[in-house]
């Protein structure tokens, strides 16, 4: 990356600070570095955007179209360029989608700021104008927004599909989009209809099959085998499930201990005692009617031993071991049960119930599925499949984006047209507004309004269309009042984008413009880079 080398890091032992650079040079270097980052992801924008292959230092290869992922892996050093990486991360956190858009937008705004600065405009004037612009732009977007009813599943599916269309897995969008919608809607709590916690949606990846085989599981899926070293059951119906946090193995005290064996008979006795001890525990478990055990991983001692597995298999208890501690909350929430930390507390009222627990073989591995859970909590699991690790990872990232899109819609129930329509409309209305203003603001806003056209321009360019023709026609159509006219990349022409079902959540667009403006303003206000401890 040439950009990172643009500003050499000057630091020597005797220098107390670096003040040799002229302020404008610093600003210019920052802007150029940040734009280089934006240019790097530019080609991945839109449904016909290209993917990037990233080879990380440890030899791992990632193929992705997701702006946030690309930037995250780029390992940028230049501070201003780093800010753009943070920008895409913020967009990921705020809206989950539009991570490329926000960076491209910021890049274009920076380019425009640079020309304004070289024309002699004071950076704070540019920054103020940008702030006014972003507020106004959000108003314009609100004006274009279409209210949405959550019961309108079609609309939700459409917007999830728009998000998926630019990904590697776009051909599966008809499958993944409804899946994402169902997943999110099933975890919405009727008591708090505006809040979705995406942690309630668990994504389990399993290599093998194709993305087509991805499914939504009403229940729980573990990417683990049932432990059947001792020939225990692999399928249990009418399961009574216990989540245990204690160990079924010979006792071990926290204080150091040793057993003194002085003769042969004692050895026999100890072995017998060990058997009895474990048998006692297993009997207690069985007594409650439990027939499925989920055992938390333990680092202090073995969670289960061969012996205990043997006994558990004898009493027909299905065992899943090595459950991570941080998964416990999700599991207990889903199964509507309580974790059990001591054998003494093993009571029936702490168990969860499910109609079926079974081990299924998927691809080369096996998974455990728990379905038909009684009083299931508001969680859901998506089992993602893919033919190779790269596709699988990308499918997961894409699905995450789609989930975020649906979440955005649940938070803020408005849709907006896609395909560059909002950007052109913003550009047009802001351009008109600039004419009403006076002074520096007017000049800057006019320039920035034009800079917004970068999105439709890039969309067209990435799709191999004649971008100038497309953008000018788009401008023309919007001037005539067709506010929903946008680029139809499939057909290669301008159409009413709403009829093509290309919609996205309002939140994605508004947060993209406000975040991009905020980031650009921050970069503009910097006039020095100081090396510190």
Partner 1 sequence: MGRNNDRDGARRWRLAADVETRRSDKDDLVAVAETIKNTRLLKDEATEEKGDRARMASFVGAMAIADLVKTTLGPKGMDKILQSTGRGHNVTVTNDGATILKSLHIDNPAAKVLVDISKVQDDEVGDGTTSVVVLAGELLREAEKLVNLKIHPMTIIAGYRMAAECARNALLQKAKDNKQDPDRFRSDLMKIAMTTLSSKILYQDKEHFAKLAVDAVLRLKGSTNLESIQIIKKAGGSLKDSFLDEGFILDKKIGIGQPKRIENAKILVANTAMDTDKVKIYGARVRVDSMAKVAEIEGAEKEKMREKVQKIINHGINCFVNRQLIYNFPEELFADAGVLAIEHADFDGIERLALVTGGDIASTFDNPESVKLGHCKLIEEIMIGEDKLIHFSGVEMGQACTIVLRGSSSHVLDEAERSLHDALCVLSQTVNDSRVLLGGGWPEMVMSKEVDELARKTPGKKSHAIEAFSHALQAIPTIIAENAGLDSAELISQLRAEHHKDTTNAGIDVISGGVGDMENLGISEAFKVKQAVLLSATEATEMILRVDQIITCAPRRREDRM
Kindly list the catalytic residues. 66, 99-100, 401
Query: Distance between CA 75 and CA 63 in Å, rounded?
Result: 16
Query: Distance between CA 167 and CA 391 in Å, rounded?
Result: 11
Shortest separation between residue 412's beta carbon and partner 1, angstroms: 12
Q: Give 380 or 495: the residue with its C-beta nearer to partner 1.
A: 380
Closest CA to 106 of 159, 53, 40: 40
435: CB partners within 8 A, 6+ apart: 442, 446
156: CB partners within 8 A, 6+ apart: 148, 150, 181, 185, 406, 409
Shortest separation between residue 426's beta carbon and partner 1, angstroms: 18
Q: Give 22 or 153: the residue with its C-beta nearer to partner 1.
A: 22
Confirm if 204 and 296 have CB atoms less than 8 A apart: no
> Whose structure tokens read 């065992």?
319
Element (H, E) at 432: helix 421-436
Q: Give 150 or 440: the residue with its C-beta nearer to partner 1.
A: 440
Shortest separation between residue 405's beta carbon and partner 1, angstroms: 15
Shortest separation between residue 125's beta carbon and partner 1, angstroms: 7
Q: Give 151 or 257: the residue with its C-beta nearer to partner 1.
A: 257
Confirm if 467 and 473 have CB atoms less than 8 A apart: no
Shortest separation between residue 255's beta carbon and partner 1, angstroms: 6
Q: Give 237 or 273: the residue with its C-beta nearer to partner 1.
A: 273
Distances 272 to 140, 230, 307 between C-alpha atoms, Å: 79, 19, 12
Distances 151 to 372, 411, 413 between C-alpha atoms, Å: 25, 14, 11
Query: Distance between CA 146 and CA 380 in Å, rounded?
Result: 29
Q: Give 252 or 316: the residue with its C-beta nearer to partner 1.
A: 252
Shortest separation between residue 502's beta carbon and partner 1, angstroms: 26
Confirm if 216 and 334 have CB atoms less than 8 A apart: no
């Amino acid at each position: 990356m040439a950009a990172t080398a643009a500003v050499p890091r000057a630091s020597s032992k005797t220098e107390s600070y670096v003040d040799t650079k002229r302020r404008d040079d610093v600003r210019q270097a920052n802007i150029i570095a940040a734009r280089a980052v934006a240019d790097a992801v530019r080609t991945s924008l839109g449904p016909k955007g290209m993917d990037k292959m990233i080879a990380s230092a440890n030899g791992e290869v990632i193929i992705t179209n997701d702006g946030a992922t690309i930037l995250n892996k780029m390992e940028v050093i230049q501070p201003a360029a780093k800010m753009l990486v943070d920008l895409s991360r913020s967009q990921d956190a705020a809206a989950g989608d539009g991570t490329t858009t926000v960076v491209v937008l910021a890049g274009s705004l920076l380019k425009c700021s640079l020309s304004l600065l070289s024309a002699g405009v004071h950076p704070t004037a540019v920054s103020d104008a940008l702030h006014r612009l972003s507020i106004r732009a959000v108003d314009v977007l609100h004006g274009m927004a279409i209210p949405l009813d959550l019961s309108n599943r079609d609309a939700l599916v459409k917007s999830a599909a728009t998000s998926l269309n630019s990904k590697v897995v776009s051909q599966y969008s008809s499958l993944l989009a409804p899946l994402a919608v169902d997943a999110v809607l099933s975890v919405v709590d009727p008591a708090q209809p505006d809040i979705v916690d995406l942690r309630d949606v668990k994504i389990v990846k399993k290599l093998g099959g194709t993305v087509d085989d991805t499914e939504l599981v009403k229940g729980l899926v573990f990417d683990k085998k049932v432990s059947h070293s001792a020939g225990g059951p692999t399928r249990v119906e009418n399961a009574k499930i216990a989540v245990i946090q204690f160990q079924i193995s010979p006792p071990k005290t926290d204080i150091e201990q040793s057993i003194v064996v002085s003769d042969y008979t004692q050895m026999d006795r100890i072995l017998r005692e060990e058997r009895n001890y474990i048998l006692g525990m297993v009997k207690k478990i069985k007594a409650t009617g439990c027939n499925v055990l989920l055992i938390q991983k333990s680092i202090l001692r073995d969670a289960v031993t061969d012996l205990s597995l043997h006994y558990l298999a004898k009493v027909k208890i299905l065992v899943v071991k090595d459950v991570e501690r941080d998964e416990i909350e999700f599991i207990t929430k889903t199964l509507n049960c309580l974790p059990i930390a001591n054998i003494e507390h093993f009571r029936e009222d702490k168990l969860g119930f499910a109609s079926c627990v079974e081990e299924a073989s998927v691809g080369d591995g096996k998974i455990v599925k728990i379905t038909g859970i009684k009083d299931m909590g508001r969680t859901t699991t998506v089992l993602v499949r893919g033919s190779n690790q790269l596709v699988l990872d990308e499918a997961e990232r894409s699905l995450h984006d789609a989930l975020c899109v649906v979440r955005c819609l649940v938070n803020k129930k408005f849709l907006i047209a896609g395909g560059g329509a909002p950007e052109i409309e913003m550009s047009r209305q802001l351009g008109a507004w600039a004419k009403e203003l006076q002074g520096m603001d007017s000049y800057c806003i006019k320039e920035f309004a034009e800079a917004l056209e970068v999105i439709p321009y890039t969309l067209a360019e990435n799709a191999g269309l004649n971008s100038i023709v497309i953008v000018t026609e788009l401008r023309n159509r919007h001037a005539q009042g067709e506010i929903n006219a946008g680029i139809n990349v499939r057909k290669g022409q301008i159409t009413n984008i709403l009829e093509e079902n290309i919609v996205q959540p309002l939140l994605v667009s508004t947060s993209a413009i406000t975040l991009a403006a905020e980031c650009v303003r921050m970069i503009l206000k910097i006039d020095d880079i100081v090396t510190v401890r």
